């Protein structure tokens, strides 16, 4: 019982405070209903590109064990195409936590809006981008925004960031499906690399 308790405590401390020594990895910040789909697309993309960049670090405010269980349920290891996904718990807008997951060495950084209202989600995303911009990150930063007008604000905060107004893309795809189902299906397949 004592050994199991110590092992559990050490595993939890590693998940909370362990530093990742990675270079050229992909970093996903935040947990939302799109996280699993993004991870799946990244794994498939790296496999098709025969990329050596096969490590993805996921930083969320959720408990790392809970996140790993959810990830294993939704995206089993056999479906990860050889990618290594590490789950870390922390504040996605905290400098120390961002440095702990190697934000300065990441090749790609994906900032996801959480499931809150549009204004709260975009405010959280802007806090994260401010933290990233203050660290002078060199990697590609892709940012999900809910309100399209906020893309201009994000470009002023961090000119090198790539804001993506998800609602606009979704509405465009829905219109394509409504007007021409074959074209909508083709466009969706092109976007998902399938």
Considering only residues 4 and 188, tell me which one the structure prediction assigns the higher pLDDT: 4
Strand partners, 27: 57, 109
Does position 22 have pLDDT exceeding 80, yes or no? no
Tens of pLDDT, residue by residue over 67-119, are 889 989 998 888 888 888 888 999 999 988 998 888 888 889 999 888 778 88
pLDDT of residue 126: 92
- Burial class (CB within 10 angstroms; exposed 0-12, middle 13-18, buried 19+) of 167: middle
Which band of pLDDT confidence, cut at 50, 70 and 90, is reported for residue 58?
A: very high
The encoded tokens of residue 1 equal: 């019982």
- Burial class (CB within 10 angstroms; exposed 0-12, middle 13-18, buried 19+) of 191: exposed
Q: Are 168 and 151 in contact (CB under 8 A)?
A: no
pLDDT of residue 127: 92
Q: What is the mean pLDDT of residues 21-41?
A: 83
Closest C-alpha to 128, from 165, 100, 101, 91: 91
CA 157/CA 3 separation, integer angstroms: 49
Considering only residues 147 and 174, tell me which one the structure prediction assigns the higher pLDDT: 147
**110-125 exposure pattern, b = at least 16 Cβ within 10 A, e = fewer:** bbbbbeeeeeebbebb
pLDDT of residue 186: 74
What are the angstrom distances between the C-alpha of 167 and each of 5, 146, 174? 46, 6, 10
pLDDT of residue 113: 84
Tens of pLDDT, residue by residue over 123-172, are 999 999 999 998 888 888 999 888 888 889 999 989 888 888 876 666 66
């Amino acid at each position: 019982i004592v050994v199991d308790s110590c092992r559990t405590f050490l595993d939890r401390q590693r998940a909370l405070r362990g530093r990742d020594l990675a270079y050229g990895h992909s970093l996903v910040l935040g947990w939302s209903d799109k996280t699993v789909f993004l991870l799946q697309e990244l794994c498939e993309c790296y496999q098709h590109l025969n990329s050596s960049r096969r490590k993805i670090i996921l930083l969320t405010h959720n408990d790392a064990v809970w996140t790993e269980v959810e990830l294993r349920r939704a995206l089993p290891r056999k479906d990860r195409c050889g990618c290594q996904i590490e789950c870390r718990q922390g504040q996605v807008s905290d400098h120390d936590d961002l440095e702990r997951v190697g934000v300065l060495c990441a090749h790609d950084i994906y900032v996801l809006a959480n499931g809150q209202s549009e204004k709260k989600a975009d405010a959280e995303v802007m806090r994260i981008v401010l933290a990233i911009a203050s660290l002078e990150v060199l990697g590609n930063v892709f940012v999900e925004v809910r309100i399209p007008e906020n893309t201009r604000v994000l470009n002023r905060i961090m000119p090198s960031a790539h804001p993506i107004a998800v609602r606009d893309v979704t509405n465009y795809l829905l219109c394509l499906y409504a007007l021409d189902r074959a074209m909508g299906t083709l466009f969706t397949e092109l976007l998902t690399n399938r």
